[in-house]
Structure formats: structure tokens, C-alpha cells
Amino acid sequence: MHNLAKNTKNDEYSFFSCKEKAWHGLGTIVEDYPTSAEALRFAGLDYTVEKWPMNAYAPNGNTCDDLHVPDKFATVRTDNHAVLGTVGRDYEIVQNVDAFAFFDSIVGGDHGILYETAGALGKGERIFITAKLPGYIRVGADDCIEKYLFLTTSHDGYGSITAAFTPVRIVCNNTLNAAMRNHTNAIKIRHTGGAKERLAEAHKLMQISNSMSDELSGIFNQWAKVRITDHEVKHLIQVAMVPNKETLNNLLQGNTDELSTVYTNMVDKVYEYAMSAPSQQQDTTAGTLFGAYNAVTGYFQNVRKYKDDEAKLKSVMDGTGRLRAQAAFDLCTDFAKELQVNHFIIN
């Protein structure tokens, strides 16, 4: 199953990936990282969107002169006249080319940012872009994490432009999508305002990326040295994966009979991944706090089944997968702090 839009200029789907197949192997696969203009074309995103006034029609289909729907507009693709959504008067369309320009402005054009995937969903009302920044976050000697930016926007009137810093652990393609407390790894831009505002936000995202890269490097390298028992890993997974307060209360009170089968099976699968996945047997992950964190994030990236690639994308980037990853990150942060406090008291 997929929900990719069709490229009106050929029979391909509106998606491209660099070097590796993705999204059911559909769309265009390229060998070299493209420029933003090439990525736009490869992904079938080189279309524009306009706001058209909305008119009311009589039940019999006849038109009524000057019967306009006040302050309502349809967003329409100009290449095939597909209606993408309904918006208000103040809604400002952000063209697909503007989304790529946003990324280009972060590191100075096509020489610093590497476009890896891009595509359109539905009829073209939602688009997404993933791009890689130069450099790595290195954990231990050779456990490398690539630095990615993810952007999604829409033409249907729902949601803001969202751009986020999303590190990805290379060895298992594991998205480590979480933010430090009192910090954010993403920015949201409403569909109002002009280009200057968007460029300013792009500069802000680069600051977020640089700051988080430095902080995560320190945190992950610390976690890779913190030992954690199998029992502690299991408990951390149990708490990170709780879907609601009732489950958490039953877990903390030891009422295991009250825990749902769906929940316990999911915890078992995460724990199995933690103990047996090859990427969990490295020096940085085997028996470490960094490994415990990767167990939760890796489950959503590499184990859990989704109805389609769009559902997986939503879960990992802004859904259940992200929420559980954040919970695991916070739990690992607390675990490391508690060890530091206990070490200080003992010594």
C-alpha cells in the first residue's frame, strides 16, 4: 500500500530517493545527490498551486450567478486542476520550490545539503523532503549518526510547515527523533507571512541543528559508557511504551494481570530487539544505556509493522513512534542523572 501522488509529466509516482529503493521501490531512484532543482523534478514536485474562489451550485447542478462562498478558496494544482483543499482568505500558499529554497538557505545552496528523498502524497496536497547535513555525530570509536533535516508541508489547509532535525544511526537506519527537555528539535511556520520570515526560520533551524548535534554527541557518548542490567532495560521499555496512565499505574503497582495483551506483546518485541538485534551487540549498545534508548527507537523503525510507508513516516516523525522515543529519551536522561547523584553521594 502507498499513498504517493502521480507525476503528471510521466507515469512515475511523485517520489525520488538517492541510491537506495524506498517507498515500495516506487518513483525515481538516482545515483548521485541531486541539486534542489533536480530533486524537485525527480520527485514530481515541479507543479504550482493557486487559490481559486469557491462558488455554490444549485442541487440540480445549475450555476447561480455571483453566488460565491465568502472568504473560502480552493487550492488547485495548475498542471492537472486537482483540488487539494479548502482554505481561508489569509492562507498563503508555500510553493514546493519555496520548500526546497528553505533548505538551500540553511547551508548556502546546493553545495552543503544533500537531498536524499522527497515526494508528494494524495493528489499532491502534502509533500515531504529529507536532506542530509554535512558531518556526523560519532558515538564511541565508529558508531556514526548522520544528521538529517526533515520538512513537511501541505496545500490542503491543514497543519503548518514543519521542519525538524532528525539524527539517524547509520548501522540500523534508526531515527533518533527526540528533543532535550526545555528544547525543541523542530520549528513550525504558519501559512502566513513572506519569504523573509521563512529565511529567518531556516537560520533558526540551523542553529537548532548545530546545538543539538553538540549536545547529543555528549549525551550519547555518556550513555554508551553507562552500564544497565537486563532487568533495568526491561523496566525502562515497559515504562517508555505505556499508552496511558491506567497502564502506567498498573505497571508501577505490580498489577500485571491488568496489563493488556497488546501492550505486553509489544514490550516483549522491543525487549527481544534490545537483546538480539545485531546493531544492539556493538560496544556502544550492548548492556548500555545508549542501547536501551536504541531498543525503543529501533523497534518503531525496524520491527513494528505499518499498513503503509506513510503510516510509518507519520509514526516515526510525529506520532506514536516519536512519543515513545521521547519517553525513552527522558527516562534514559533521568537514569543517567540518578547514577551521577548516587556516585556523588557514595564518594
Instruction: Give the least confident one: 31-40, 199-208, 306-315.
Output: 199-208
Residue 325 inside a domain? The answer is yes
Query: What are the pLDDT digits (tens) for 132-173?
Result: 998 999 999 999 999 999 999 999 988 788 899 999 999 999
Please say whether the beta carbons of 294 and 301 come within 8 A. no
- Do 205 and 283 lie in one domain? The reply is no
- Contacts of residue 333, defined as CB under 8 A and 6 or more positions apart, other chains included, come to 180, 181, 219
Of 220, 237, 268, which residue sits at a domain end? 220
CA–CA separation, 293 vs 331, rounded Å? 9
- Do 251 and 319 lie in one domain? The reply is yes
Residue 116 inside a domain? The answer is yes
The residue that leads in pLDDT, 232 or 110, is: 232
- Do 275 and 199 lie in one domain? The reply is no
pLDDT higher than 80, residue 109: no
- Do 198 and 315 lie in one domain? The reply is no
- Return the pLDDT at 24: 66
Domain extent at residue 150: 15-46+93-220
- Do 208 and 102 lie in one domain? The reply is yes
Residue 73 inside a domain? The answer is no
- Return the pLDDT at 44: 94
Of 188, 220, 252, which residue sits at a domain end? 220
Taking alpha carbons only, the member of 241, 223, 221 closest to residue 332 is 223
Please say whether the beta carbons of 38 and 50 come within 8 A. no
**From residue 24, how far is each of 5, 234, 258, 337 by CA, in Å?**
14, 33, 39, 42
Of 220, 253, 277, which residue sits at a domain end? 220
Residue 145 inside a domain? The answer is yes
| pLDDT (average), residues 24-51 | 91
- Do 150 and 280 lie in one domain? The reply is no
pLDDT higher than 80, residue 332: yes
Please say whether the beta carbons of 77 and 47 come within 8 A. yes
Q: How many domains does the structure of the chain reveal?
A: 2
Residue 197 inside a domain? The answer is yes
The residue that leads in pLDDT, 27 or 302, is: 302
- Do 229 and 332 lie in one domain? The reply is yes
- The most confident of the ranges 21-25, 107-111, 199-203, 229-233 is 229-233
Residue 66 inside a domain? The answer is no
Other Cβ atoms closer than 10 A to 142: 11
- Return the pLDDT at 75: 96
* Residue 239: exposure state from Cβ atoms within 10 A (0-12, 13-18, ≥19): middle
- Do 216 and 117 lie in one domain? The reply is yes
Residue 55 inside a domain? The answer is no
Residue 114 inside a domain? The answer is yes
